[in-house]
Structure 1
Amino acid sequence: MKVAFWLIPTEQAFYQSLINDLAQRYDAPIFQPHVTLYSGNFERTKILEFLRTPIDLVLAVDRITHSDQFTKTLFIQLVSNPQLEQLSESTQKYFGSPYSLDPHLSLIYAHLNEAEKRSLSEKIRLRDRVIRFDRLSAIEVPTHPQTRDDVESWREITL
């Protein structure tokens, strides 16, 4: 099954509020705030074992930016650090396949024009210049999410 492992922020309520506000304003899907650590096709037993990995990670905020990619419409770009790199490497070893890590926390998935994305990236204010992550989550996802239906089909895999 295609699974994404997400790092979940400690201050989840703050980021969830940003996501919810933008989703309501632009009629976009609501999703859980996260940073994708790894994704691929895995056996359920390995997924459940990996979810037991303890997480305590702090990442610095680089900037709020945007792209043409649906799953990176508007996002907080984070700065990788040795702790994240080591977690990423150990994850790749555990699952036996490479993954290109790009630490970011998306704020909206929508098809917005360039001017709107730029305006939003300039207006959003964060509480801190760092984000702490304290939990890992596994989400069953479609291969290339491009629509609201794809995002709304995501399902968390629980222990």
Structure 2
Amino acid sequence: MSQQRYALWYEPTGESYVELSAIIKKLATAYRSPIFEPHITLLPGGTEANLATVTQKLEDIISDTPPFETHLTSYSYLEEYFKCIFIQVEKTPSVMNFAHAIQREIHGQQANDFIPHLSIFYGQLPIAEKKEIIKNLGDLVNKHFIIKTVHVISYELGKPPESWKKVASIIFSKTAV
């Protein structure tokens, strides 16, 4: 039985995307962990709703939302596979309101424990090793970029990130104020 789900995320743009992709690949290669695209997840846990429903709801929200800026603020880590090492995203009203609107529309409620972040390493490492990696990462924080597109990602529970696929991309059509 397939456990097909959809995630919603947006990605850094320009040089930020290139630089973060290179770091993710370098760490994944060094520690034999998955390579994935740099992204900020908007819908924790994804959804089992069908693609047409997810896409329509996302288009409805985006039609009322202008592109907005995202700021990467500081490194962090948790004892969670998908948040092993990550960069925190500033919780601006634009970021939080947009994510909460998506969560309410698709899940029926917002995730009060939502932590906007951009993971740079998936896996399990000792805390001392995480701290050492962060110390050697350089200046990836204090970057900012404009969000203009949200992607719908198809995945199956238990399958590796390399199997994730972009199945839709919705572009913000409203002009920034």
The TM-score with structure 1 as length reference comes to: 0.84
Say which of 105, 118, 133 aligns to 1:120. 133
User: Alignment partner of 2:47: what SS?
Assistant: strand
1:95 to 2:106 alignment: yes
Alpha carbons 1:23, 1:108 under 8 Å: kept: yes
Alpha carbons 2:10, 2:41 under 8 Å: kept: yes
**How many residues were matched structurally?**
155
Unaligned runs of 5+ residues in structure 1 are: none
After superposition, what is the alpha-carbon deviation per residue over 1:1-48, rounded to whole angstroms, capped at 9, x for unaligned? Answer: 421100111132111111111111111111010000112222211233
Q: What is the one-letter code of the residue matched to 2:151?
A: S
Q: Quickly say closer, same or farther: Cα 1:55–1:17, change in 2 above 3 A.
A: farther
Q: Quickly say closer, same or farther: Cα 1:47–1:80, change in 2 above 3 A.
A: same
Greater Rg by CA: 2
After superposition, what is the alpha-carbon deviation per residue over 1:70-101, rounded to whole angstroms, capped at 9, x for unaligned? Answer: 00111001111111122123213432522422
Provide the residue aligned with 1:24 in structure 2: 29
1:109 to 2:102 alignment: no
Q: Quickly say closer, same or farther: Cα 1:35–1:55, change in 2 above 3 A.
A: farther
1:1-159 equivalence runs, <5 A: 1-11=4-14, 12-38=17-43, 39-50=46-57, 52=59, 53=62, 56-100=67-111, 101-127=114-140, 129-132=142-145, 133-143=147-157, 149-158=159-168
User: Alignment partner of 2:160: what SS?
Assistant: helix
Alpha carbons 2:74, 2:141 under 8 Å: kept: no
Q: Quickly say closer, same or farther: Cα 1:89–1:66, change in 2 above 3 A.
A: closer
Alpha carbons 2:54, 2:106 under 8 Å: kept: no
Aligned-residue offset at 1:50: 4.6
Alpha carbons 2:42, 2:99 under 8 Å: kept: yes
Alpha carbons 2:6, 2:51 under 8 Å: kept: no
Q: What is the one-letter code of the residue matched to 2:120?
A: L
Normalized per residue, the structure richer in strand is 1
User: Alignment partner of 1:41: what SS?
Assistant: coil
Q: Aligned partners of 1:89, 1:116: CA distance in 2, in Å?
A: 34
Q: What is the one-letter code of the residue matched to 2:6?
A: V
Higher mean displacement: 82-91 or 72-81: 82-91
Q: Quickly say closer, same or farther: Cα 1:158–1:89, change in 2 above 3 A.
A: closer
Q: Quickly say closer, same or farther: Cα 1:110–1:98, change in 2 above 3 A.
A: same
